[in-house]
Chains A and B, each alone.
Chain A
Amino acid sequence: MEHFAIVERSAAVFFGMLVFIAAAVALKNDWKATGVENQVFKLMLALLAFGALLGIFAGLGIIGKA
């Protein structure tokens, strides 16, 4: 069970980094886009990158209750 948790945490950190990079790149590419939906997209992408960071930190055991 403990080994399984290590695999889950490692995967969370690895994929979290991928997601963070993808969200950051998408945000950079969309930065100059105009229109109401693009403004919302930018906000959502920023929050997505933040969420990915939370996933990475939780996977590393820096934050979280377990």
Chain B
Amino acid sequence: MRAAVAADQFYQETRDLRVTGFLLFMVSDLVLFSSFIFAYLYLRNTGQGWPPPGAPHLNLALAALNSVALFGSGATIHFALENWKHEKFMKFAGWMLATIMLGIMFLSGQGIEYYSLYTVDHASWAGSGVFGASFFTLTGMHGLHVFAGIIYLTVLLLQAAQGKYTFKYYTGLTLGTLYWHFVDVIWVVLFSIFYLI
């Protein structure tokens, strides 16, 4: 009994620290993305007109659908965490799987876009000037984060199924949700700067 109380006290005391530590990691990641985004915006506004001559044509319809899939995954992971809080494991697992599938869908859409740019427009990271370098660097870096997130969420789902988290102690799941929301929000910015403005 005393051990349980001590464990509970330790969890409560360290929980905020772990969340804050993870938020700091997210801030550092935000700085990384911000550096590349501002570099892109600087290049865009100091060049002689935008888009530069010969810049590849981006598929807005595909990107809009792809974006909605990723934003949808932000909603599904939120539902997953809410169901965990309400001690509904099966619903939690269902929403987590939906999140992972939507993440895979997003990456597949990104792959189609890359393939189309490479084969139709002959665009590449190094061979398409400022636009190609910026586009492939930023979207590629984001895609790597989505890929890492898919692995992260899969591991969390497996750990939850194995009983690593309880309905009382589940900081890991909260942090996974935070990470996935972060990846979503970064895409709001990237979608806007590459496809909308």
Contact = CB atoms under 8 A, between A and B. Distances in A.
A, B co-complexed: yes
Contacts of A52: 68, 71
Interface in B60-92: 60-65, 67-69, 71-72, 74-75, 78-79, 82
Contacts, number: 127
A48 B185 CA distance: 6
Interface of A: 4-6, 8-9, 11-12, 15-16, 18-19, 22-23, 26, 29, 36-37, 40-41, 44-45, 47-48, 50-52, 54-55, 58-59, 63-66
Interface stretch (B124-132, B137-145, B149-157, B186-194): B186-194
B101 interface: no
Interface of B: 16, 19-20, 23, 57-65, 67-69, 71-72, 74-75, 78-79, 82, 174, 177-178, 181-182, 184-185, 187-188, 191-192, 195-197
A66 B58 contact: yes
B174 A37 contact: yes
Main secondary structure of the interface of B (DSSP, over half): helix
Contacts of A12: 61, 64-65, 67-68
